[in-house]
């Protein structure tokens, strides 16, 4: 799964295997690399984000050795919490994980180090990228969790029990319709204009930047004052000391204030991924409709059998297994405390309430 310029889920590839392990992950990444080559893509330094599954790591090292690796901070936090369960560690960890500047990141690690040098050493030894300030500006994506991938897994919950062919067909038809809807939406976006997601971010940043003081410098440089803090901004190089502009590809609130001071349009300073032109190119190709399975052509190829299923002990689970550090899934909006409709008291019912029908 990936993300397009409008922050929508974009399905790149999917496969059915018997079990998640090094061999099956290597099979998946190898075919993914072949698919890229068939479409004329020679890029090798992709950015992958996942949990710390050993199968994924070993397969990526073999098939995409130049790829940049990000770790899902939610998984890293779960492991971190087991070693340092105090609440203060948790707040500092997430401040460090979401820090878009070296200054904030180092400040949070310094506070953690005052309480436990071992905790800082643990975080510094993480081989993958996990703090936003480490991300490549060319990627223009600040996601540091794999939560968006779980949306695809939630979709699959209703389809997992189907036969393989029906399962693959349901996935294809779902994304065929989704891609067609997004292609129609992309046609409404101006080529040099922002996508709806980027436009929403710009409007929010502009609303926050109106009260900031700006001091103009030379060569496209500005000094933006947010309270007692000063943020140097260079609109020519597309940089801000807070780091948010570089990581997201969308001008931050300090950059928006500087660009307005220079009497220019914000859309001229968006990353190319966040524009309507790139959004349209994403959905230039589409999934083609297919006839009924009975009308499919026959080929002189060996019959493809389903993968050998390796079942574990016990009944197979359909829900995601959550670690102790994960928030519980909400089953609904109903309150856990039931209020009796007659006396309006919590926890009462018609039998226990003195003013209920039974008491009468």
pLDDT tens-digit map of 206-233: 887 777 899 998 889 999 999 889 999 9
Flag whether pLDDT at 2 surpasses 80: yes
Rg (the chain; Cα; Å): 26
- Examine the domain organization and report whether 18 and 149 are in the same domain: yes
pLDDT for res 124 = 94
pLDDT for res 257 = 92
- Look at 82-96, 244-258, 287-301 and tell me which has the smallest mean pLDDT: 287-301
pLDDT in tens, 269-290: 999 999 999 999 999 988 889 9
What is the arithmetic mean of pLDDT over 154-160? 80
What distance in Å separates the CA atoms of residue 235 and residue 220, rounded to the nearest whole number? 6
Flag whether pLDDT at 181 surpasses 60: yes
The answer to the question of residue 10 being in a domain is: yes
Angle between helices 73-83 and 87-97 (to 10 degrees): 150
How many structural domains compose the chain?
A: 3
- Examine the domain organization and report whether 20 and 102 are in the same domain: yes
**Structure token pair of residue 204:** 């929010």
The answer to the question of residue 98 being in a domain is: yes
The answer to the question of residue 164 being in a domain is: no
Question: Residue 74 to residues 25, 46, 90, 203: CA-CA distances in angstroms?
Answer: 22, 21, 11, 29
**Residue 360, number of CB atoms within 10 A of its CB:** 6
Using pLDDT thresholds of 50, 70 and 90, give the confidence band for residue 157: confident
Flag whether pLDDT at 185 surpasses 90: yes
- Examine the domain organization and report whether 211 and 262 are in the same domain: yes
Flag whether pLDDT at 91 surpasses 50: yes
What is the arithmetic mean of pLDDT over 63-67? 91
- Examine the domain organization and report whether 6 and 146 are in the same domain: yes
- Examine the domain organization and report whether 38 and 107 are in the same domain: yes
Q: In whole numbers, what is the pLDDT of the chain averaged over residues?
A: 86
**Residue 248, number of CB atoms within 10 A of its CB:** 24
- Examine the domain organization and report whether 150 and 240 are in the same domain: no
What distance in Å separates the CA atoms of residue 360 and residue 346, rounded to the nearest whole number? 20
What distance in Å separates the CA atoms of residue 340 and residue 358, rounded to the nearest whole number? 13
- Examine the domain organization and report whether 134 and 256 are in the same domain: no
The answer to the question of residue 181 being in a domain is: no
Domain-ending residue, one of 99, 126, 157: 157
Flag whether pLDDT at 251 surpasses 90: yes
- Examine the domain organization and report whether 24 and 137 are in the same domain: yes
Contact 171, 14 (CB under 8 A): yes
**Percent of the chain, pLDDT > 70?**
85
What is the arithmetic mean of pLDDT over 45-59? 87
pLDDT for res 23 = 92
- Look at 239-243, 260-264, 329-333 and tell me which has the smallest mean pLDDT: 329-333
Range of the domain at 202: 196-282
- Examine the domain organization and report whether 117 and 7 are in the same domain: yes
- Examine the domain organization and report whether 55 and 140 are in the same domain: yes
- Examine the domain organization and report whether 109 and 208 are in the same domain: no
Domain-ending residue, one of 282, 316, 351: 282
Flag whether pLDDT at 359 surpasses 70: no
Flag whether pLDDT at 318 surpasses 70: no
Flag whether pLDDT at 109 surpasses 90: yes
pLDDT for res 340 = 65
pTM confidence score = 0.80
pLDDT for res 40 = 84
- Look at 85-89, 109-113, 146-150, 173-177 and tell me which has the smallest mean pLDDT: 146-150
pLDDT in tens, 121-150: 999 999 999 999 999 999 999 999 988 888
pLDDT for res 327 = 57
**Structure token pair of residue 313:** 């002990």
The answer to the question of residue 241 being in a domain is: yes
- Examine the domain organization and report whether 276 and 337 are in the same domain: no
Between 106 and 312, residue with greater pLDDT: 106
Flag whether pLDDT at 158 surpasses 50: yes
Domain-ending residue, one of 282, 302, 321: 282
Flag whether pLDDT at 41 surpasses 90: no
């Amino acid at each position: 799964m990936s993300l397009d310029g409008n922050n929508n889920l974009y399905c790149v590839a999917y496969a059915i295997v018997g079990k998640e392990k090094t061999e099956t992950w290597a099979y998946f990444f190898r075919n993914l690399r072949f698919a890229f080559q068939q479409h004329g893509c020679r890029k090798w330094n992709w950015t992958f984000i996942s949990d710390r599954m050993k199968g994924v790591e070993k397969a990526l090292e073999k098939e995409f050795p130049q790829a940049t690796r990000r770790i899902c901070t939610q998984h890293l936090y779960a492991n971190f919490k087991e070693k340092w369960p105090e609440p203060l560690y948790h707040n500092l960890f997430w401040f460090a994980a979401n820090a878009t500047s070296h200054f904030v990141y180092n400040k949070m690690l310094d506070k953690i180090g005052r309480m436990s040098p071992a905790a800082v050493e643990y975080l510094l030894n993480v081989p993958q990228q996990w703090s936003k300030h480490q991300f490549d500006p060319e990627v223009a994506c600040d996601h540091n969790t794999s939560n968006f991938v779980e949306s695809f897994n939630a979709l699959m919950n209703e389809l997992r029990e189907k036969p393989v062919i029906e399962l693959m067909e349901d996935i294809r038809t779902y994304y065929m319709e989704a891609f067609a809807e997004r292609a129609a939406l992309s046609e409404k976006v101006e080529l040099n204009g922002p996508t709806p997601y980027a436009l929403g971010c710009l409007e929010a940043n502009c609303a926050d930047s109106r009260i900031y003081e700006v001091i103009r410098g030379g060569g496209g440089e500005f000094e933006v004052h947010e309270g007692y803090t000063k943020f140097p901004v260079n609109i020519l190089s597309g940089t801000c000391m807070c780091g948010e502009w570089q990581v997201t590809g969308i001008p931050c609130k300090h950059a928006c204030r500087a660009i307005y001071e220079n009497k220019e349009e914000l859309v001229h300073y968006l990353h190319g991924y966040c524009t309507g032109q790139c959004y349209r190119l994403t959905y230039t190709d589409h999934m083609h409709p297919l006839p009924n399975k009975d009308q499919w052509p026959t080929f002189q190829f060996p019959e493809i059998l389903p993968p050998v299923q390796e079942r574990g002990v016990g009944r197979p689970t359909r829900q995601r297994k959550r670690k102790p550090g994960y928030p519980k899934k909400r089953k609904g909006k109903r309150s856990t405390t039931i209020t009796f409709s007659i006396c309006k008291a919590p926890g009462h019912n018609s039998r226990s309430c003195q003013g209920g029908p039974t008491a009468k």
